[in-house]
Amino acid sequence: MRERERLNLILVLLWPIIAVCISAFLEETGIFHQNFFVSIILFLALPSIYLSFYIRDRILKIFIASLVGSIPIMIIVEYFGQLSNTWSFPPSVFPFSIGGLIIIEALLWAFFNVYYVIIFYEYFLDHHVIHHLVEPRMKYLLIGLLMAFVLFIFVILNFSTRSIPYFYFIFGVVVFAIPVILQFTSYSHHKKIVVKMVKAGAYFFYLSFIYELVALHYGWWSFPSENFIGWVILFNFRFPIEELTWWIMLFALAVLSCYEFFDNNEPM
């Protein structure tokens, strides 16, 4: 690892702590409480944009992969998540939403989560050479997303008022658990890739766990229902087991599992 990479690694390792300190400072001004948008900028956008300056040749590719891999899925997930009262966000800073349920912050949160995971992976761990802006396998993801959207529209038109019991658990199994299981069951063939993914996953576990606690403290999101398989209780914080398992523990691993399969040109 080059000297600049080591310095940047130290910076991103310290960043969650720095973000907590900035959060506390901004809270004193009164503009940070229940401001989901500012939290996204602070915890996700700033460090990912910073790293982008060091791999400018890959920004467009990563941007496309992040956009395709986050926004369509998040629209579907957020719709049913809100319908099922799975989670709740404070009022949006934007004067509009999608379908009266999906706030813009939720889409930004999804995009920058995916973008930060990939940019971190590419800068610190992968270093592969880009041959195509969009890899051939990406067409399979686009076809799958198109089919999901058709099904989504059908469900909205016919069952728009029905919530889904244990939605977070079901969604996590399909979107997070299955890709990770498929990647890790092929460990003997993809050992180097899996090791790099685990390193990235360790960092994002650390970041996401801190972000979760700070978010609950400042009211950036909450979990108002009992539609979960169980709860994690830590100090004065309470959040679903699904939140710990799917977002904090497996999110980065799931993103990288899909990224390696659909949009990375390195041999699998």
- The pTM of this model reads 0.90
Query: Which range has the worst mean pLDDT, 55-59, 94-98, 125-129, 135-139?
Result: 135-139
167 in Cβ contact with 86 (< 8 Å): yes
Quote the Cα angle for 133-182-112, to 5°.
45
pLDDT at 135: 60
pLDDT at 137: 65
Contact partners, residue 35, CB within 8 Å, separation at least 6: 90, 93, 218, 220
Q: Would you say residue 268 has pLDDT above 50?
A: no
- What pLDDT digit, counting tens, does each position of 77-93 carry? 898 888 888 999 999 99
CA distance 161 to 226: 19
- What pLDDT digit, counting tens, does each position of 227-242 carry? 999 999 998 899 999 9
- What pLDDT digit, counting tens, does each position of 26-50 carry? 887 766 677 899 999 999 999 999 9
Q: Which two tokens stand for residue 130?
A: 């880009």
pLDDT at 68: 84
- Residue 234 backbone phi and psi in degrees, to 5: -135, 115
Contact partners, residue 31, CB within 8 Å, separation at least 6: 38
User: Which pairs from 21-26 meet CB under 8 Å and 24+ separation?
Assistant: 23/214, 23/218
**79 vs 254, more confident:** 254
Query: Which range has the worst mean pLDDT, 102-111, 120-129, 155-164, 168-177?
Result: 155-164
Give the pLDDT band of residue 132 (cuts 50, 70, 90).
low
**Closest to 109 in 3D by CA, of 75, 155, 62:** 75
Residues of the chain with pLDDT > 70, as a percent, come to: 86
Q: Which amino acid is at 53?
A: F
**245 vs 96, more confident:** 245
Q: Would you say residue 15 has pLDDT above 60?
A: yes
Mean pLDDT of 216-237: 93
Residues of the chain with pLDDT > 90, as a percent, come to: 50
225 in Cβ contact with 84 (< 8 Å): yes
Question: Which of 7-16, 80-89, 93-102, 131-140 is modeled with the greatest confidence?
Answer: 7-16
- Residue 232 backbone phi and psi in degrees, to 5: -100, 125
